[in-house]
Amino acid sequence: MSIITIVGAGMMGSAIGIPAAHNGHEVRLVGTPLDREIIDHARETGWHLTMKRRLPDSYRYYQFEEKGADLLVGGVSSFGVDWFCENVLKVIDPALPVLTVTKGMMDDEQGGLHVYPELFERQSGNRGLKLNAVGGPCTSYELADLDDTEVAFCGKDPELLRWIKSLFETDYYHISISTDVVGIEAAVAMKNAYALGVTLAVGLGEKRDGKIGVLHFNSQAALFGQSAKEMKRLLEYMGAREESILMGIGDLYVTVYGGRTRKIGTLLGRGLTFDEAMAELQGVTLESIVIATRSARAVKKKIAQGILKEEDFPLLRHIYEIIVEKKPVNVPWTAFEFESIG
């Protein structure tokens, strides 16, 4: 039996320990300073406040001051990465393996894009940490419901990845391993941006028909296909392996069908301005907005440098126009067309 300590009691951080608990390992869920209510409630009831699911009886709950592990799982959201680097990664033993569920990328002044494991290593002082990450189509609540799920664990050391896989893999949680950290992590980060783009079609259909809840699959499929095309181009530029995009495409499918990203895309498609849509969501900061802004900003810089082509990213550029330049939705359908002759 191993001790798996999860730092961050968000929904995915909390859910990923379930298969490990079912495999007989001790799972310790450690709250950040923002998770105290979740931890206290779980200690008393066994229920996760926000996921609205009962966690395994074998879970143990701790506030951040209480620690100990064979594997550390980073369960913070993308808005907690600075705290995680400063308060956890800078102080742990570099020999302690780390598995993070946080999805996202940062852009730099030159238009480079950097996945979170790269950021974690740099911000923690280049201490040679054993960093690994999870990518793929997986919602926390369906994992908690034991729905069959396919993900990838990525990192630099194949043997370490196989050991971590052995802790978590069950008859419902299926795990591939990859040393293409940039490819896997970039693919699953980009899906947040493009899920917003695909769900514009939901709102556009509702606006056209004057009926909430009506679905038009042709337009959604067209935007989904264009999203996959642009993700593939960006991953190729970043040097990713070809198969890594599959985790991003699967994750895109999951994200299109639910959550706040679908909601804001739908609201924008109905005709709300970006500010109006955000007000409707009570100003909640969405990861899809952050990653779309960072990705598009980087792409625009690389286009200006002559490294990428403007015509290769019409959907991402339009998403940027909507959320940053506050332009109305006007999907550039003809820009998606191509000729393949030979």
| pLDDT tens-place string over residues 221-272 | 999 999 999 999 999 999 999 999 999 999 999 999 878 899 999 999 999 9
Closest of 57, 72, 74 to residue 18, by C-alpha:
57
Question: Between 78 and 5, whose confidence is greater?
Answer: 5
In the predicted structure, residue 54 carries a pLDDT above the cut 70: yes
pLDDT above 70 covers a percentage of the chain that reads 98
Tell how strand 71-74 and strand 3-7 pair up: parallel
- CA distances (Å), origin 310, targets 290, 298, 304, 335, 340: 21, 12, 9, 11, 19
Residue 56 is classified by DSSP as P
Average pLDDT of the chain, as a whole number: 92
In the predicted structure, residue 331 carries a pLDDT above the cut 90: yes
Task: Out of 54-68, 136-150, 160-174, 312-326, pick the least confident.
Answer: 54-68
CA distance 185 to 244: 9
* Phi, psi for 114 (deg, rounded to 5): -130, 125
Contacts of residue 182, Cβ cutoff 8 Å, sequence gap at least 6: 115, 118, 238, 239, 240
In the numeric block, the tokens 């951080």 are attached to: 13
Residue 200's pLDDT is: 97
- Model confidence pLDDT, tens digit, residues 110-147: 999 999 999 999 988 888 999 999 999 999 989 999 99
- CA distances (Å), origin 202, targets 78, 221, 258, 313: 26, 11, 12, 21
Q: Which residues pair with 100 in a beta bridge?
A: 74, 133
Length of the chain measured in residues: 342
CATH number for region 189-335: 1.10.1040.10
Q: What is the mean pLDDT of residues 207-226?
A: 94
Report yes or no on whether pTM surpasses 0.75: yes
The domain locations on the chain are 3-179, 189-335
Is-contact 122 148, C-beta < 8 A? no
Residue 287's pLDDT is: 84
Among 3.40.50.300, 1.10.760.10, 3.50.50.60, 3.40.50.720, name the CATH number for the domain at 3-179. 3.40.50.720
CA distance 245 to 251: 10
Q: Which residues pair with 107 in a beta bridge?
A: 113
Residue 276's pLDDT is: 93
Please report how the helices 260-270 and 245-256 are oriented relative to each other, as an axis angle in degrees rounded to 10.
Answer: 70
CA distance 140 to 173: 12
Contacts of residue 336, Cβ cutoff 8 Å, sequence gap at least 6: 222, 225, 226, 229, 314, 315
Confidence of residue 189 (pLDDT cuts 50, 70, 90): very high
Question: Which tokens hold the place of 18?
Answer: 């379930």
